[in-house]
Amino acid sequence: MSELEKPKMMNYARHMLVCVGPRCTEEGESQELFDSLGEKFKAAGIDKGELRVKRTRTQCFATCKSGPVLCIQPDGIWYYNVTEANLDRIIKEHLVGGVPVEELIYHRGPECAA
């Protein structure tokens, strides 16, 4: 039996999980949002280095209202109504500036319950 090769991953400061499931947005808005992240992260300087944000698409968070929805880990911050303008705010204020966008948060993980 051959030995499995251990996967490699670049370091990252935060991980953005974007729900692209069909019940989150019926017209594919979540997938379009996910597809725009590479350019937006590069423009904000969070595609590499100390502030690098890893991005992953998921199929369902089981919170199928007011999407697109996304989660920022390890911060435990869950955002809803992530339009393009709201995504730009999340990138600028939260991912670059370190301050979550309070009015777009619908849930906080256990580490963030304040």
Q: pLDDT tens digit string along 64-114?
A: 888 899 999 999 999 999 999 999 999 999 999 999 999 999 999 976 555
> What is the architecture of the domain spanning 14-112?
3-Layer(aba) Sandwich (3.40)
| Residue ranges covered by each domain of the chain | 14-112
- 59, 93 in Cβ contact below 8 A? no
Q: pLDDT tens digit string along 8-54?
A: 999 999 999 999 988 878 788 899 999 999 999 999 999 999 999 99
Instruction: Supply the DSSP symbol for 18.
Output: E
At residue 14, φ and ψ (nearest 5 deg) are -140, 160
Question: Residue 33: what pLDDT?
Answer: 94
- Residue with the two structure tokens 């350019």: 39
Nearest to 112 by CA among 79, 75, 71: 75
Q: Which two tokens stand for residue 79?
A: 């955002």
